[in-house]
Amino acid sequence: MTGDIYARGRRFPANPAWGWLVLAGAAAASAAAGLLARRANFPGLSDFTTVFFSILLEAFPFILLGTLISSAIHILVSAETIARILPRSRLTGLLAASAAGFAFPICECANVPVTRRLLAKGLPAPLAVTFLLAVAIVNPVVLFSTWVAFGGNLGMVLLRGFLGMGIAVLTGWIVGFLPIGRQPLREASRGGAVEERECECGHDHDHECDCSQDNDHHHDHEIERDANPDADVGRTGKRGAADIALEILSHAGAEIYSVGRYLILGAAVAALMQTILPRAALVGVGASPLLSVAALMALAYLLSLCSEADAFIAATFAGYFTPGAVMAFMVYGPMMDVKNTLMLLDGFKPRFVAVLFTLVTAACLGAGLLVNLLVAGNAA
């Protein structure tokens, strides 16, 4: 069967030599660029690489944690279990999802794979969206860092926490009424594991893939097991703890490819913005109630800071921008930024990501304006 080698799902021509050629070419080009940067003194390039690798080094542990949790959910938690533990009331469910960060204090890098997996396991989209948006803000580590950054100002901590929770619940609630909210995941991410689509794991699953044997076909990985009939028992058989652990790790090894590549691309964009975008250029609109909010939201999106650290940057804006803008920076950034948008696009339908982006942007803009109105009202 010849097939169209560029058909949907195919990432690369069938000839394996191409893959090696791309890797070799990429390695040679990046080695040359690295050596050039080492010899020449390009401060901008040096700052770009430092910021880029700092984002990666900071994010990798949490991406790893996210993929491990996601894989553990995939292997250990059934859809029935998810259905059984869900609160009966939607409002209770949304509130529980918005406060889940107290139980799982994960950041905006780790929450994307976990949310994808929970959705694939049948968690309703409103709850998954609320969890996705809230968990990087409404968690003890982030709230404590906000408290420290703003000199022990409890009002800022509570405002950030409640706004984050409120926007997450509101967005989740709205998503529940939208047709796209019924199935936000891409076809390939549904039902089975995300990494099954990526097909690195080596376990047993029937699916269409482009994975191993260099031709276009539907195949069953059982074929590959024929080579090793005594290998792991697989999902259908009785498994020991070691088998389960191995299966979780195998899935995580594949999923980190799926999520990590978008993290790397997002980190590159964020590092570029950090290097070339002078923040002082935005100060001109700092006093405008509307434009200041919009400007810092755009900055939060482009900088893609970790939610544990963004409050410290927000604190430096305090004298330059309106209070609503500073708050919008701290609420919007953990919910939407370059790197998590790219990661979302990997597993979610682009239309759903666009809807989510629009809802969150509108809600955060409104929240920032509201804060400005309240502050102006108090000052008057």
Partner 1 sequence: MRKTIIAYGTAAWAAILLAWALWMLRLLASGEVLLYLHPRMKIFVWFAVLGFLVLSATTAWSALRGRGRRAPRAGYAVFLVPLVLAIAGGPRALGADAADTRLMRISSPAAPLTPSGPSAGRTLESILASTAPGSVLFFEDDFHSAMAADMAATPDRYEGRRLSLVGFAHRVLGLPADQVFLTRLLITCCAADAEPVCVLASWPSAAELKGGEWMRVTGVAKRTAYRNPYTGKDSSISMILVDEVVPGEKPASPYLYPGQF
Site for partner 1 in 72-101 (CB under 8 A): none
Q: How far is the C-alpha of 57 from the C-alpha of 11, rounded, in Å? A: 27
Distance in Å, CB of 238 to partner 1, minimum: 20
* Residue 79 C-alpha from the chain's centroid: 22
Helix (H, G, I), strand (E, B) or coil at 295: helix
Q: How far is the C-alpha of 321 from the C-alpha of 298, rounded, in Å? A: 14
Answer whether 181's CB lies under 8 Å from 125's CB.
Answer: yes
Binding-site size for partner 1 (CB under 8 A) equals: 106
Q: Which helix (H) or strand (E) element contains residue 217?
A: strand 217-220
Q: Name the one range near partner 1 by CB under 8 A: 93-101, 122-130, 143-151, 289-297.
A: 143-151
Considering only CA atoms, which of 120, 250, 94 is closest in space to residue 192? 120
Identity of the residue, 85 or 287, whose beta carbon is nearer to partner 1 in the bound complex: 287
Residue 278's contacts (CB-CB under 8 Å, 6 or more residues apart) are none
Q: How far is the C-alpha of 304 from the C-alpha of 166, rounded, in Å? A: 22
Is residue 336 near partner 1 by the rule CB under 8 A? no
Residues numbered 185-204 forming contacts with partner 1, rule: CB under 8 A: 199-203
Is residue 140 near partner 1 by the rule CB under 8 A? no
Q: Which tokens go with 165?
A: 């929770």
DSSP 207: E
Alpha helices (runs of H) in the chain, residue ranges in sequence order: 16-39, 43-76, 79-85, 90-98, 111-120, 125-134, 140-149, 154-175, 194-198, 222-225, 241-276, 289-303, 310-317, 323-335, 338-347, 350-379
Distance in Å, CB of 16 to partner 1, minimum: 3
Distance in Å, CB of 108 to partner 1, minimum: 13
Q: Name the one range near partner 1 by CB under 8 A: 83-91, 161-169, 185-193, 310-318.
A: 310-318
Question: Binding mask 227-266 vs partner 1 (x if CB under 8 A, - otherwise)?
Answer: xxx-x--------------x--xx-xxx-xx--xx--xx-
Distance in Å, CB of 29 to partner 1, minimum: 8
Q: Name the one range near partner 1 by CB under 8 A: 182-190, 234-242, 273-281, 366-374.
A: 273-281
User: Quick one: which of 93, 94, 109, 150 contacts partner 1 (CB under 8 A)?
Assistant: 150
Distance in Å, CB of 141 to partner 1, minimum: 9
Residues numbered 161-190 forming contacts with partner 1, rule: CB under 8 A: none
Buried/exposed 328-350: b ≥16 CB within 10 Å, e otherwise: bbbbbbbbbbbbbbbbbebbbbe
User: Quick one: which of 213, 235, 358, 373 contacts partner 1 (CB under 8 A)?
Assistant: 213
Is residue 221 near partner 1 by the rule CB under 8 A? yes
- Token pair 């029935």: residue: 80
Identity of the residue, 268 or 331, whose beta carbon is nearer to partner 1 in the bound complex: 268
User: Quick one: which of 98, 139, 274, 341 contacts partner 1 (CB under 8 A)?
Assistant: 274
User: Quick one: which of 46, 122, 186, 291 contacts partner 1 (CB under 8 A)?
Assistant: 46
Is residue 155 near partner 1 by the rule CB under 8 A? no
Is residue 137 near partner 1 by the rule CB under 8 A? no
Helix axes 310-317, 323-335, angle to 10 degrees: 160
Is residue 151 near partner 1 by the rule CB under 8 A? yes
User: Quick one: which of 3, 23, 81, 158 contacts partner 1 (CB under 8 A)?
Assistant: 23
Identity of the residue, 230 or 378, whose beta carbon is nearer to partner 1 in the bound complex: 230
DSSP 255: H
Is residue 315 near partner 1 by the rule CB under 8 A? yes
Identity of the residue, 226 or 380, whose beta carbon is nearer to partner 1 in the bound complex: 226
Identity of the residue, 46 or 354, whose beta carbon is nearer to partner 1 in the bound complex: 46
Q: How far is the C-alpha of 15 from the C-alpha of 17, rounded, in Å? A: 5
Answer whether 253's CB lies under 8 Å from 201's CB.
Answer: yes
Identity of the residue, 123 or 300, whose beta carbon is nearer to partner 1 in the bound complex: 300
Q: φ and ψ at 9, to 5 degrees?
A: 95, -20
Is residue 119 near partner 1 by the rule CB under 8 A? no
